[in-house]
A = this chain, B = another copy of it.
């Protein structure tokens, strides 16, 4: 079972980090530090899963969307939920987003932990 790193870096009182940790952390922040990828994540956040074709509405070419999905995938922020025919459905990886929030000093929200563990529905 792979455990996500839970490093705090930027909140008041955060302990000093090592150079390698800055590298890996900033790499994951780079993944969301783009308007298009933020929009993709935002859409996935409000659905269980979304088809790739749904992102056509972002007004970018198909290869570009595919590129951004790859970046987010390699950062561990999203993953392929399932395929249906030639349609790919992506889903958010809440633990990964939460790990980034934690790095910035945000406390994990109890509902989110629950939602992650059970599989659905906070609120």
Interface residues of A (CB under 8 A from B): 9-17, 19, 22-23, 25-26, 29-30, 32-39, 41-43, 45-46, 92, 94, 97-98, 100-102, 104-109, 112, 115-116, 122-123
Is the beta-carbon distance between B43 and A16 smaller than 8 angstroms? yes
Contact among B22, B101, B115 with A106 in the assembled complex (CB-CB below 8 Å)? B101
A101-B104, A104-B106, A105-B97 known; A22+B10 contact, CB < 8 A: no
Extra contacts besides A23-B35, A107-B108 (12): CB < 8 Å: A9-B45, A10-B41, A12-B94, A12-B122, A22-B39, A29-B38, A30-B34, A32-B104, A98-B104, A106-B106, A106-B107, A106-B109
Number of copies of chain A assembled together:
2
Instruction: Tell me the minimal C-beta distance from A21 to chain B in angstroms.
Output: 9
